[in-house]
Structure 1
Amino acid sequence: SLLFPVASGQLFVEQSPEWRGVSEGQNGTVTCTYSSAINSLHWYRQAPGERPLFLLMLHGKGSETQEPNFTADHDPGQKRSSLHIRGCQLGDTASYLCAVETQ
């Protein structure tokens, strides 16, 4: 994962952990927090040497699943979203990025 602070006006976005190693078969989670109200939150995956690939988009409170092993949840009240990767494999090695669309 990647620490990805972004400043745009009064909105700040931060991800944690900055880096995490996960053994094959284990689960991994990346969390994104933001400072102001948003319309939607997007998760991307960027493999080494490649451009970001869209994974999920979340509106409001709830969760979404993409492919069998990627799930994201979103809590606008807490201004937080988490991307969960189940049963990590070597091919999941990447930076996982969040981006927000402001109101």
Structure 2
Amino acid sequence: TAMGSMNTIKQEQREQAVSEGRSTSLSCEYTGSINNIQWYRQQQGSRPEFLLYITEAGEIHPVRSDFSAKINKMTKQVDLLISSAAMADSAVYYCAL
């Protein structure tokens, strides 16, 4: 039997401090080819919350005013963009295949 190609994803960033009202980005890297990458956040004491996903073609669903994403297929990096950071954005952020 042939082994399928393994897709992996990793996040290097551990912590990021941002001034309120400033924009920032979080990134993760992937291997292989992907259909989409999802972003979630988990605030303390809460269950994970789905934010958005981005396809390999760069389509983002759902379109939001507070979060966006971009993908670089050359470096296989996906960024989550937070447009105007607020205290309510304090959370652990995850990317997932």
* TM-score, normalising length: structure 2: 0.81
What does the per-residue CA deviation read over 1:9-54, in whole Å, with 9 as the maximum and x for residues that have no partner? 8433211421101111111110010122222111111111111111
Q: Distance in 1 between matches of 2:78 and 2:68?
A: 11
Aligned AA (1:35): T
Q: Map 1:67-82 to 2 at 5 A.
A: 67-82=64-79
Instruction: Give the Cα separation in 2 of the matches to 1:79 and 1:17.
Output: 16
Unpaired segments ≥5 residues, structure 2: none
Confirm or deny: 8 A CA contact 2:7 2:34 kept in the other structure. Answer: no
- In 1, the alpha carbon distance for the partners of 2:68 and 2:47 equals 21
Q: Is 1:43 the counterpart of 2:31 in the alignment?
A: no
Q: Per the alignment, in what secondary structure is the counterpart of residue 41 of structure 1? A: strand
Larger radius of gyration: 2
Q: 1:27 to 1:19 in 2, by over 3 A?
A: same
Alignment partner, residue 52 of structure 1: 48
1:46 partner letter: Q
Instruction: State the match for 1:24 in structure 2.
Output: 20
Structure 1, gaps ≥5 residues long? 1-8
RMSD: 1.9
Query: Offset of 1:63 from its aligned partner?
Result: 4.8
Give the whole-Å Cα distance in 2 for the aligned partners of 1:58 and 1:47: 22
- Residue 38 of structure 1 aligns to a residue whose secondary structure is coil
1:47-69 Cα deviation digits (max 9, x unpaired): 11111111111112325364312
Q: Percent identity?
A: 33
